[in-house]
Amino acid sequence: MVRTLIAIGAFLLAPCAANAQAPDITDILSLREVGGFQSGLSVSPDGRQVAVFTRDTLIEADRYQYTLMVIPAAGGEASAIADGGDAVLRTATGRYSGAIDDRIPAWSPDGSWISYIARHGDGIELWRIRPNGRANRRLVGGERDVARFAWLSPNEIVVELYPARSVLNAQSERQRRLGFFADDNFEPRYNLFPYPNLRDGRSAIVINTNGRKLRDATEADAQALLPATGFGAPSGQVAADEAGDLRASIAPATPGDPATLPALALTLTRRDADAMRCEHSECSGRMSGVWIANHDEIVFQRREGHGFADYALYVWDASADTIRLLRRADEVLLDCELARDALVCLHESPSQPRRLVTVSLSSGDISPIYDPNPNWSAFPITRVERLDADDAYGNQGFAHLVWPRDYQAGRLYPMVVVQYRSRGFLRGGVGGEYPIHALAARGYFVLSVDRTDNQDLLVRLPAAQSQLVAELDGSELRMKQTQLERLLRQIGARNIVDPSRIAITGLSDGAETVFWMISQTRLFAAAVSSSPPVDPSGYPLNAETFRQSNRDVGAEGPWGDTPEPWASWWRENATIYHTENIRTPLLMNLSDNEALTGFPLSVRLRELGRVSEIYIYPGEYHVKWRPQHQLMAQERALAWIDFWLAGVERHDANEPGRIERWRALRARQTGALSQ
């Protein structure tokens, strides 16, 4: 793709030649991933080796390539032992969100085999291989895709299978030929054709390591299947020693549903003895993992600090009843497993992409044992600063301020707001469509915001009820607004950002904030959304199960006779009712799966002489997953920001008339605002 840069404003971003060593969009999009979104590594039973998948993004081929790696836990040469094929989208029912499933290899109980998922063509298959890469064999494949699997013994695996693809294809063909009943597999908001029914027709079998079916799985066999949406992941909430004499667990500090209570506590249970609860203040709160290091030392992880921004590891010596801080930092330590005298974890930090590390249980020091992107350190990464900012309700929050490349004191720079989580590597906000370090390389400040949550409601109420209360009283939107306004004031007081050149971006919850902020404030000179706004047209286009779930918690649709407080909720939350207030040039990069509800707002903005454009990405879902679409969405977003904030015109050879169209939009915007 050929790009030509023409600078027409007084403010000129860093020229292309100067950016030769700075990370750009493709550098970030092409980073090799290790592990999955929440999990992915697997330590051998003897603690000596780690199995994990890497994922390469093949932009030109518009696909991914998974590779199974085996790495010595103590450090050493990593070995690529198997081809895992392309990505698998996460689904439980046949409807996709665009999220890619975590792919987790599994060791046999005796450590002699590794079983793993591979996708070749349309097939999702189960394979097994020796840790040295020998004797690789497909165990399950063909007509039925693998949903989940688990080892039962050194030679037996239980496998859950989806319905046969031929059956699903025949069903789809019949629906195309004869028409179909609009049941809950049909959601016109997302697609004008039903998605396949993957809930019915599943079955589980037990096979041996040669791939021979032994029997249909019993209910007891099926209990071993990992309890995640796709291939499964350990919860990290319970640990036991090898002999089964000790059991450490994280459970609610008070009775209730562990899914809705953030306050947890650490308990140790010895065989034939009463449970012992750790009474130290560190042994409660946002806890996320526990491991038994030796007979009396319990290692646990918790989130803490302002807005729970830091990840911390502690050691509780149960015999002496003492607590020792092992490590605390602005980083993410994910999916840790015990490997002899260390934890093996997936690690990332604001400027460091994901890598595999060990954490010493004596010193807390981390040691990289596999870095999938060793060349990243050659890029000149700009300064990253953490800012603490609460909302008007007292909920703690934070953000990361990424400084522009070649910053010069005394100069006012444009800034881009990216949302709505800011943890680990600052890739590009939730959804990854706004490459933060590439924006900094172009000369922008970037404010990566981690939104606040209503802690009082979360502690007092179940999650669904807490969400309902926050929606009805308007506190959720105002929490996000007041936190962001306070962050902008904090930065403005430092006289480093031009307040007339700030852009806001977001996907999903972040998109809700985009539409709210541009309709309620005049803070932003440009906006890019990766999701459509809340719109009354979306309610009847959802499935009946969705509408019923709303009614179950007392919610009402956008009808003329809708009673209060829901009538007011729709008037306040549906952006179409606030169109007259919007002056910010708006670009929407929408998946075809979600695009319908974006058009009412876009059409009304155009009728009012305001600026709005929509790009559609076919075959996409809530999160864009195809590499070419991710690249184009990022390029268009950054080109839109450059045009409105920096006066920089980026031509696209694939869209020759774009700059002329945008110039016309700018002229129309200027005319509309002058009236």
Strand partners, 127: 116, 138
Q: Mean pLDDT over residues 638-657, rounded?
A: 94
Could you write out the DSSP letters of every residue in 319-359?
TTTEEEEEEEESSEEEEEEEETTEEEEEEEETTEEEEEEEE
Strand partners, 413: 497
How far is the C-alpha of 589 from the C-alpha of 616, rounded, in Å?
6
468 pLDDT higher than 50: yes
Sketch the domain layout of the chain as residue ranges.
3-27+380-535+574-674, 40-163+198-233, 235-372
How far is the C-alpha of 607 from the C-alpha of 592, rounded, in Å?
23
pLDDT of 16 reads: 38
**Mean pLDDT, rounded, of the chain:** 89
pLDDT of 11 reads: 31
How far is the C-alpha of 24 from the C-alpha of 634, rounded, in Å?
11
Shortest CA distance to 497 belongs to which of 532, 445, 536, 419? 445
15 pLDDT higher than 70: no
| Max Cα-Cα span within the chain | 81
pLDDT of 38 reads: 82
326 pLDDT higher than 70: yes
List the beta strands (DSSP E) in 521-641. Answer: 526-529, 586-591, 612-617
Q: Do domains 3-27+380-535+574-674 and 40-163+198-233 have the same CATH topology?
A: no
Q: Mean pLDDT over residues 641-670, rounded?
A: 93
pLDDT of 464 reads: 65
Residues in the chain, total: 675
Are 174 and 191 within 8 A, CB to CB?
no
Could you write out the DSSP letters of every residue in 145-171?
-EEEEEEEETTEEEEEEPPPHHHHHHH
pLDDT of 550 reads: 79
Query: How do strand 497-506 and strand 413-418 relate by DSSP bridges?
Result: parallel
Are 45 and 109 within 8 A, CB to CB?
yes
How far is the C-alpha of 45 from the C-alpha of 113, rounded, in Å?
11
b/e map 538-577, b = 16+ CB within 10 Å: bbeebbeeeeeebeeeebbebeeebeeebeebbebbbbbb
CB neighbours of 80 closer than 8 A, spacing ≥ 6?
A: 67, 68, 69
Are 28 and 673 within 8 A, CB to CB?
no
Are 323 and 332 within 8 A, CB to CB?
no
- Give the count of alpha carbons within 13 A of 387, CB side only: 25
Q: Which CATH architecture has domain 3-27+380-535+574-674?
A: 3-Layer(aba) Sandwich (3.40)
pLDDT of 263 reads: 57
The three-state secondary structure class of 116 is strand
The three-state secondary structure class of 529 is strand
Copy the structure tokens of residue 594.
């979600």
204 pLDDT higher than 80: yes
CATH of domain 40-163+198-233: 2.120.10.30
Could you write out the DSSP letters of every residue in 191-235?
-SSPPP--SSS-EEEEEETTS-EEEEPPHHHHTTS--SSSS----
Which amino acid is it at 445?
Answer: F
* pLDDT tens digits, one per residue of 532-551: 999 999 999 988 888 888 78
pLDDT band at 367 (very low <50, low <70, confident <90, very high): very high
How far is the C-alpha of 670 from the C-alpha of 673, rounded, in Å?
5
pLDDT of 529 reads: 98
* pLDDT tens digits, one per residue of 550-565: 787 778 889 988 988 8
CATH class of 235-372: mainly beta
Shortest CA distance to 253 belongs to which of 242, 265, 244, 262? 265
pLDDT of 549 reads: 81
Are 304 and 286 within 8 A, CB to CB?
yes
Which amino acid is it at 487?
Answer: L
- pTM of model > 0.75: yes
Are 601 and 579 within 8 A, CB to CB?
yes
* pLDDT tens digits, one per residue of 476-516: 899 999 999 999 999 999 999 999 999 999 999 999 999 99
Q: Mean pLDDT over residues 101-118, rounded?
A: 95
pLDDT of 7 reads: 30
**SS3 per residue for 175-196:** HHHHCCCCCCCCCCCCCCCCCC
